[in-house]
Amino acid sequence: MAFQKPPGTQDILPGTVEAWQFVERTARDVCRRYRYREIRTPIFETTELFQRGVGETTDIVEKEMYTFTDRGDRSMTLRPEGTAGVVRSYVENKLYGEPDIAKLYYIGPMFRYERAQAGRYRQFHQFGVEAIGSGDPALDAEVIALGWQFYREVGLSGITVEINSVGTPAIRTAFRAKLLAFLEPMRDRLCKDCQSRMDRNPLRVLDCKTDQDKFEGAPSILDSLDEEAEAHFARVRECLDAMDIPYRINPRLVRGLDYYTHTAFEYKAQGIGSIDTIGGGGRYNGLVAEVGGDDRPGVGLGIGLERTLLLLESQNVRPDLDAGVDVFVIGFGERAERELPGLIHRLRASGLSAERDYQGRKPKALFKAADRLNAKFTAILGDDELDRSEIGLKDMGTGEQRQVPAAELAEVVRQILNEAKKGNENQ
C-alpha cells in the first residue's frame, strides 16, 4: 500500500519551497522595519480559547475546527487562526508589563476543515501581525500599511484595500434591529447559511458570497456610528491618505470573526478563483479581556501564504530564487578523493556554498552537474595539484582558469564574488 497525503494538504517540495522562503523572508524583513518581533505559539490550544476568542457563531468554530480529546480528557483544537493564541500568550506571559505596546508577528500553519479550492487548504499557512496595547487609529493604519507593503515587496500588483468600521458592540446591537428589518422580508430567498445567521449573528449575513446581489439598499453600519466611532474611522482614513495607501470603503465588509471592533479591512486581488480575498484583519478592543486578561485594545492582520504564492504565479512574478552554488569541487584520483571532505568542509565553514559528486560520475558528467547546479566556480583537484599544494579554479561564467594555492581557495573565491557584486551595484 502506497500512502498519500491527507485531503486538503500539500507537500512543498524542493524547487517550490524556495518561493515560500522568499515570501517568508520578505515578511520578516518588512516586520523588522516596522519593529514587529516574532512570536511562536503552540499549534494546538484548548478548544475553549477559540470558542471564546473567535466566536461560537462563526463558521470557523461551528464547522471548521479540528478538535480532539487528549489523553487527559481535555478538549484541544488545532489552531484555525493566529490571533487568539497570540493574545492568550500576551496575557499568560504578562507582555502587557512592558513599557511599549506589544508589536508581534507570526508565520506558521493553521488548520480548518473546509472545502479545498484554489489557494485554500485544510492545512494552510498564515503570516500575521498583532499590535496590542493602544487604541490609536494611527496603529490601525500602520497595520494596513504593513500588509500593503508586504504585497508590494513580493512583487504583486493590482492589490486593492477595502475598509469599513464595524463600530462597537453597542453600535452593532442598534444596527442589528435595522438590518433584521431589511432582511426579514427576504428570509425565504436567502441561502441556508444566511437564514441561520439571521437568528444568531445577522451582521454575518452581509459577508455571504452567495446572496450579495440581494443586499442592494441594505442599511449601512456607517450610518449607525456614534461620534467616537466616526472620529476613529475618519482618523484611520486620514492616516492612510497620508501614506498614499489606496483604499475603498465597503460598508458590507464585516469579516468572519466575532472579535472585531471599529476598523475592519481586507486585501483583494483578481485571478485566483471565486474568492478574491487574500488577507485581512481589524481592531479587536475586547478580545484581551475575553481570554482572561485586563482589557487592552489591539489590532492585527492575517495573510494567507498559499494565496499569495498562487497570485504570484498568476501574475507571472518569478523572483530570482536560485543563486546557484558558489563552488563545485571535483577530485580526480584516490588521493584527491581523500582530500575532498576536508576541502569542501572548509569552503562551507568560510561562508561559501559548495557541492561535490557522490555518485562516481565521469569527468564530462561532473562538469554537466556543475552547470546544472549553476555553479559560479569549479575547483579541480588532481595528483598534479596535490603535489604543488594548488587547486585549479575555473570561472564558469567566463571560462577563465587559474591555479590558486589550496590554502587560499576560499579567500580567492570570496574576493572575486565581492568584486563582481560591487561592479553590479555600480552599474
User: Structure pTM?
Assistant: 0.87
Residue 116: how many other CB atoms lie within 10 Å: 13
Distance CA 232, CA 166 (A): 11
- CA distances to 19, 107, 123, 150, 153 from 22, rounded to whole Å, are 5, 13, 20, 12, 10
Residue 62 DSSP class? I
Q: Which domains does the chain have, with CATH numbers?
A: 17-167+225-314 (3.30.930.10), 327-419 (3.40.50.800)
Complete edge-to-edge strand list for the sheet that includes strand 298-304: 37-38, 102-111, 123-132, 298-304, 277-283, 261-268, 160-165, 248-249
Residue 245 DSSP class? -
In this structure, are residues 131 and 101 in contact, taking their beta carbons and an 8 Å threshold?
A: yes
For position 77, what pLDDT does the model report?
A: 97
| Residue 170 phi, psi dihedral angles, 5° rounding | -65, -40
For position 118, what pLDDT does the model report?
A: 63
Q: What nine digits make up the cell of 88?
A: 492568550
In 164-247, which ranges are continuous DSSP H helix? 169-183, 192-200, 227-242
In one-letter notation, the amino acid at residue 19 is A
For position 274, what pLDDT does the model report?
A: 58
Query: pLDDT tens per residue, the chain (427 residues)?
Result: 899 999 999 999 998 999 999 999 999 999 999 999 999 999 999 999 999 888 776 778 878 999 999 999 999 999 999 999 999 999 999 999 888 999 999 999 999 998 776 667 999 999 999 999 999 999 999 999 999 999 999 999 999 999 999 999 889 888 888 888 888 888 888 888 788 788 777 877 877 777 787 888 888 899 989 999 999 999 999 999 999 999 999 988 877 666 789 999 999 987 666 568 899 999 999 899 998 888 899 999 999 999 999 999 999 988 877 778 999 999 999 999 999 999 999 999 999 999 999 998 998 999 999 999 999 999 999 988 999 999 999 999 899 999 999 999 999 999 998 888 776 666 6
Q: What nine digits make up the cell of 217?
A: 439598499
Q: Output b/e per residue, 343-377; b: 16+ Cβ within 10 A.
A: bbeebeeeebebbbbeeeeeeeebbebbeeeebbb
What radius of gyration do the chain's Cα atoms show? 28
